[in-house]
Amino acid sequence: MKRQHNGKKLIVGMGQTGLSCAHFCRLQGWEFDACDSRARPPELAQWQLFEGAQLFCGDWQHLSMSAYETLIVSPGVALSEPAIAAARAAGVEVVGDVQLFVDAIDKPFICITGSNGKSTVTTLAAGILQALGKSALAIGNIGVPVLDAITQSLHADIYVLELSSFQLETCQRLPSQAATLLNLTADHMDRYASMEDYWHAKQRIFNGAKAAVVNLDDGYSRPHRAISECTFSLQQPADVCLTQDAGRDWIQLQQKPWLAVDELRINGDHNVANVLAALALVDAAGLGAELDCTAVRRYVRDFCGLPHRCQTVAVKQGVRFINDSKGTNVGSTLAAIDGLRVRNGGRLFWLAGGVAKGQDFSPLAQICQQRVTRALLFGQDAKQIAQQLGDACDAQIFTSMAQALTALAPQLQGDDVVLLSPACASFDQFKNFEQRGDAFVQAVEQLEVSQ
C-alpha cells in the first residue's frame, strides 16, 4: 500500500544550510515547512518571509514528520534523532542539500572529504582549475552552501565540493569526476558510535565517482569498491609524490620533477600533502595533461594557505607565532606538530584546549615527547588533555589562551615557535574556531617579546 503524505517537504534545521534549502524549494515551486530544535533560530526573521510555510521552533520531536513527502535534513542534525528515525522507518525520503544540488546540475564536479585538510585541498583544487582557465567554484562545507550556486546563479564550468561526514550521511549518489577521502582520524566521536561508523559515513563520497584519489599514507583513504585510482604520497612512489633532484625535495608529477618543495609558501609537511592531493584530483578529473604549465606552478608556489590553518601570523624577535585554530581534532594537531620545522635549536611551545568531543589525546604523547618543549593548556577539557599526555612533556593549565601567552612571553627567545593547534572544538570559550584564531592573533599583537 502506497504511503499517504501531505505532498510537502520538511526542512529540518533552520540555520544557513536550511535557509539555502528553503530558497531552492521556492525556486522549484515546492511546498515546504521547516522546523528547528531552538525556540528562536538566529535566522528566524528571514524564515518568516516565506509565505505559506509553517515554522515549528522548539520541541519539534513531537512533530509528525512521517506526514511529509520528504525530509531535507541539515548536516548539523543527526539522522539518529528519534523523530527522523521514525519517519525513515515509515518510508519517508530523507535527503540533504548536497544530494539536491548534484541531482539538479548538469556540470561536472569533484568531491573532497577527510578529517583534516579538506578546505585547503578544496581551495587549491579550485585555484589550480582557475589557473587552467576554467570557471571553477569551491562550495559546500567550505562556507558557501551548495544550493546557493543554483539560487544565486553562481555558474561554473566545474564545481569543487568540500563535504563533511555529516553532509555525506544524506547522500546516496555522487557521480563526480573524481572524489577523495584524504585521511581519517578520530573526530566527532560524540556523534558516531565508532571509527568504523565514521569511516562508513566518509566512504559515501565514492558512491558514483568515476575515479578515486587515494592517499597511500593513510589506510582509510582507499575506496570500499573497485574504481579507477590516482594516488598521492609523501612517503612512497605514487602518481603524485615527492622525489629528490639536485639535492632538493621536489613534487613529482607525471614521472618528473614539477616544483621544488622549498619554493612553497605554506607551512608544514601536511600542507605539502594537501598540494599533492589537489594536483592528483585535477589529474584524475581528466586534466592532468594541462598541469605542466607556468600558471599552475605560479599559483601553487604562491599559495599562502587559509586563515587559521598553520598560518604564520607574526614573527617577534625571531619567535614565530602560528595560528592553527582550525586544528579541532587530534589528527589535525598531530599533523601540524609533526610537519613544523623548528630552526637553529629553537623550541616548540604548543597551545591547546577546548571541548574534547569524546577524543582520546594519548596519541599526541609520543610527538610531544619528541618535539614539544611545553604544552600550555586551557579551556573546558584542559585537565583531560594533561592527564592523557602524562609525562610526555611539561604541561601547564591556564584559565584562558591569553593568560597562557602572557605567562609564556618572558621565556621566549629567538627561533622559538609558538603554535596554537587546539585539538579541540572552540565553543566553550569562543563562538567558533575563527573567533578563537582571531583572539590568538590579537593577543600576539599585544605581546612583548624581549631578546
Q: What confidence tens digit (pLDDT) does each residue in 69-121 have?
A: 999 999 999 999 999 999 999 999 999 999 999 999 999 999 999 988 999 99
Dihedral sign, Cα of residue 124, residue 128, residue 129, residue 131: positive
Q: What confidence tens digit (pLDDT) does each residue in 314-370 have?
A: 999 999 999 999 999 998 899 899 888 888 889 999 999 999 988 999 999 999 999
Length of the chain: 451
Q: What is the mean pLDDT of the chain?
A: 94
Sheet holding 211-215, edge to edge: 136-140, 158-162, 109-113, 178-181, 211-215, 228-232, 240-245, 248-253, 256-260
| Residue (of 57, 52, 69) closest to 18 by Cα position | 57
Sheet holding 93-95, edge to edge: 55-57, 32-36, 9-12, 70-73, 93-95
Question: Which residues are CB-neighbours of 363 under 8 A, at least 6 positions away?
Answer: 330, 334
Q: What are phi and psi of 10, to 5 degrees?
A: -120, 120
Question: Which residues are CB-neighbours of 394 under 8 A, at least 6 positions away?
Answer: 373, 374, 375
Q: Is 23 a catalytic residue?
A: no
Q: Is the pLDDT of residue 451 over 70?
A: no
d(CA 148, CA 145) in angstroms, rounded, equals 6
Q: Which fold has domain 9-95?
A: Rossmann fold (3.40.50)
- What's 99-302's CATH class? alpha beta
Q: Which of 9, 134, 188, 326 is catalytic?
A: 188
Per-domain residue ranges of the chain: 9-95, 99-302, 311-445
Q: Which of 9, 118, 270, 357 is catalytic?
A: 118
Q: What is the pTM of this model?
A: 0.85
Q: Is 9 a catalytic residue?
A: no
Q: What confidence tens digit (pLDDT) does each residue in 193-240 have?
A: 898 999 999 999 999 999 999 999 999 999 988 899 999 999 999 999
CATH superfamily of 311-445: Mur ligase, C-terminal domain (3.90.190.20)
Q: Which of 8, 116, 134, 141 is catalytic?
A: 141
Percent of all residues in the chain with a pLDDT value above 70, rounded to a whole number = 99
Give Cα separations from 16 to 30, 42, 78 (angstroms). 19, 9, 16
- 217 in Cβ contact with 270 (< 8 Å): no
Q: Is 431 a catalytic residue?
A: no
Half-sphere exposure of 361 (CA within 13 A, CB side): 26
- The mean pLDDT value for 296-312 works out to 91
d(CA 303, CA 301) in angstroms, rounded, equals 6
